[in-house]
Amino acid sequence: MKLLKMFTYRRRVHFYETDAQGFMHHSNYFRLFEETRGEFLRSLGLPYSELRKKGFEVVLIDAFAKYLRPVYYDDLLEVHLNLEDLTRVKFVFSYTVVVEGELKAKGKTTHCVIKNSKPIKLPNELYNLLKEIKEF
């Protein structure tokens, strides 16, 4: 199986992230996805903090995860992020979670941007940056 790798984020599973069975708790995959997309935007020179300074909030409108194999304390995770869809009003990231080359989980998140608590078109700076990457 070929794993897509637009951006890769690496880190270890912390003990506090595991459950009574010794697996990384299912809720932590969504945190992992958030960390990954935050680091992805930071790597592009457009971290969430910059968007927020301009009055924009990136909000999550949909999230999905499929757990395939357990992940354990101290496993070195690789999370591969891809921009799966982009329109003027939303963008979709997909994720694959891999440990030592083995696919452990996959997921997807959909986002939009709001300003003054109202949905808006993606700011040009964000849209153009993501569009350039999508077309690459």
Delimit the domains of the chain by residue range.
Answer: 7-135
pTM above 0.75, yes or no: yes
Residue 118: CB atoms within 10 Å: 6
Q: How far is CA 82 from CA 19, 67, 74, 108, in A?
A: 28, 18, 25, 9
Active site residue 19: yes
Q: Which of 19, 62, 74, 75 is catalytic?
A: 19
H-only helix segments in 14-123:
27-43, 48-53
- pLDDT by residue for the chain (136 residues), tens only, comes to 344 458 999 999 999 999 999 999 999 999 999 999 999 999 999 999 999 999 999 999 999 999 999 999 999 999 999 999 999 999 999 999 999 999 999 999 999 999 999 999 999 999 999 998 877 5
CATH number of 7-135: 3.10.129.10
Give the DSSP letter of residue 123: P
